[in-house]
Structure 1
Amino acid sequence: MKLRDYTLYMAWIVAIAATLGSLYFSEIRGYIPCELCWYQRILMYPLALILGIAAYNTETSIKKYVLPLSVIGGLISLFHYLEQKVPGFAAIKPCTQGVPCSTAYINWLGFITIPFLALIAFTLITVLMLLTKSEK
């Protein structure tokens, strides 16, 4: 067995961890998600379900459905992270109501924020999908 045989399972575990992490921050810690956080959740939550079903059935053809979600989610996470960490991006205001998107509820080690965690998760899922063996 090679590592590439388990990429669907690894991507599923990443999606589950990201989903549970976002629920922990909002439901247990009480952090109110901003607008960009909601977009990231909209793209991550289905991945937990889709990747679980695909891993169980060893359906590597799921890549064509997972990759658009993970890449778009990663781009939104990157923009959100830049908005928090780069002063020039804070002037761009995609969040018009509720919590400002520049709010950083956590700032571990001076650079790890919630959008950064989401970016890592989306990047890992993307890389794992690219490493997944295609069915022939």
Structure 2
Amino acid sequence: MAGVESLKPDSTKGDEPAWVCLFLAWCIAAVSTLGVIFVGEIMGQTPCILCWYQRAFMFPLAAILGIAAFRSDFAIWRYSIPLAGIGALFSFYHSLIYVGVISENLAPCSQGVSCASSDMDIFGLVPLPILSLGAFFGIVALNYFMMRRVKI
């Protein structure tokens, strides 16, 4: 069936490991996006200023990585690594405030929820800033492995 072959997406030599990395990066971004919406809207936790900055970098990642996975566009690393890297810097700074390495006086949170309060824990166990940092690093790492695999 010659017609079926033309329906397959052009995926740079049919590179399945690279596509799996791209798909997993999208999964991390999508779960993170849905998770913070759940925490904010369902659990009623108001985000601090640093959380909003992190969301500003995570939300577009869910969209662009999803589109790239659908299209098998492995060149997405050019956009997703900088977005995730900047988001990781915000979450790293937030994590340092949360654990007490940086004084809360240096936090941009002058109103609303404190950047270092226990409200930053999800279900009282996992600190959101550290979870966010892990998500951003996971996205960067998966994009790096994808990039190395397809040698773009």
2:77 corresponds, among 63, 68, 71, to 63
Cα displacement string for residues 76-126 of structure 1 (whole angstroms, at most 9, x for unaligned residues): 111111101125432312122222212232141xxx301111111101000
> Contact conserved, 1:104 with 1:114, CA < 8 A, in 2?
no
**Equivalent residue number for residue 109 of structure 2:** 95
Structure 1 residue 77 corresponds to structure 2 residue 106? no
Q: Shift of the alpha carbon at 1:135?
A: 6.0
Letter in 1 for 2:111: Q
Task: Give the match's secondary structure for 1:21.
Answer: helix
Which deviates more, 54-63 or 3-12?
3-12
> Contact conserved, 2:46 with 2:113, CA < 8 A, in 1?
yes
C-alpha distance in structure 2 between counterparts of 1:5 and 1:34, whole Å:
35
Return 5+ residue gaps in structure 1 as ranges: none
> Contact conserved, 2:18 with 2:74, CA < 8 A, in 1?
no
**Equivalent residue number for residue 44 of structure 2:** 30
Bigger Cα Rg: 2
> Contact conserved, 1:60 with 1:135, CA < 8 A, in 2?
no
Letter in 2 for 1:52: G
Return 5+ residue gaps in structure 2 as ranges: 1-14
The 5 A counterparts of 1:3-18 are: 3-18=17-32
Q: Shift of the alpha carbon at 1:134?
A: 3.7
Task: Give the match's secondary structure for 1:27.
Answer: helix
Structure-1-length-normalised TM-score: 0.90
- Cα RMSD (Å) of the superposition? 1.6
Task: Give the match's secondary structure for 1:68.
Answer: helix
Letter in 2 for 1:5: W
Percent of residue pairs bearing the same amino acid type: 38
**Equivalent residue number for residue 137 of structure 2:** 123
**Equivalent residue number for residue 10 of structure 2:** none
**Equivalent residue number for residue 104 of structure 1:** 118
Task: Give the match's secondary structure for 1:96.
Answer: coil
Letter in 2 for 1:26: G
C-alpha distance in structure 1 between counterparts of 2:133 and 2:58, whole Å:
11
Letter in 2 for 1:45: F
